[in-house]
Amino acid sequence: MAYPTNYRYTREHEWIALDGNIGTIGITDYAQNSLGDIVYVDSPKVGDSVTANATFGSVESVKAVSDLYSPVSGTVTAVNEELKNTPDKINEAPHDTWIIKVELSNPAEFETLLDAAAYEAFISEETGS
């Protein structure tokens, strides 16, 4: 799967798309593929603060529970409520299914994240392919 070039990525396999100072965050195709069928998403509430590189929630699959790491610092402005009833949307369309939206407190953090080419190279190193 091609990784959207307008997104930035973390080494923990989250993606973020930026629109002004609002970042939309989800997990990558590689992450959902590694996890298997996602059965539950634990996310923060609107108004909660998130910190770059710190956990903000978790995804539970039939294989494991995996922490979610925020790519940026800021305040949660929206939570994808659909995922409470249909968490498997992440498996179906990982790069179109967001988990939270965050108002960035430090927009410069976005620039420090991996671009699509660097993320794909990172996955290749990690998988040895």
Q: Does residue 34 belong to any structural domain of this protein? A: yes
Residue 14's domain is classified under what CATH number? 2.40.50.100
What is the domain count for the chain? 1
pLDDT in tens, 6-63: 999 999 999 999 999 999 999 999 999 999 999 999 999 999 999 999 999 999 999 9
Q: Does residue 120 belong to any structural domain of this protein? A: no
Domain hosting 57: range is 8-107
Q: Catalogue the E-assigned strands of the chain.
A: 8-9, 14-19, 22-27, 38-42, 49-50, 55-61, 65-69, 74-79, 100-104
pLDDT in tens, 56-105: 999 999 999 999 999 999 999 999 999 999 999 999 999 999 999 999 99
Q: Does residue 50 belong to any structural domain of this protein? A: yes
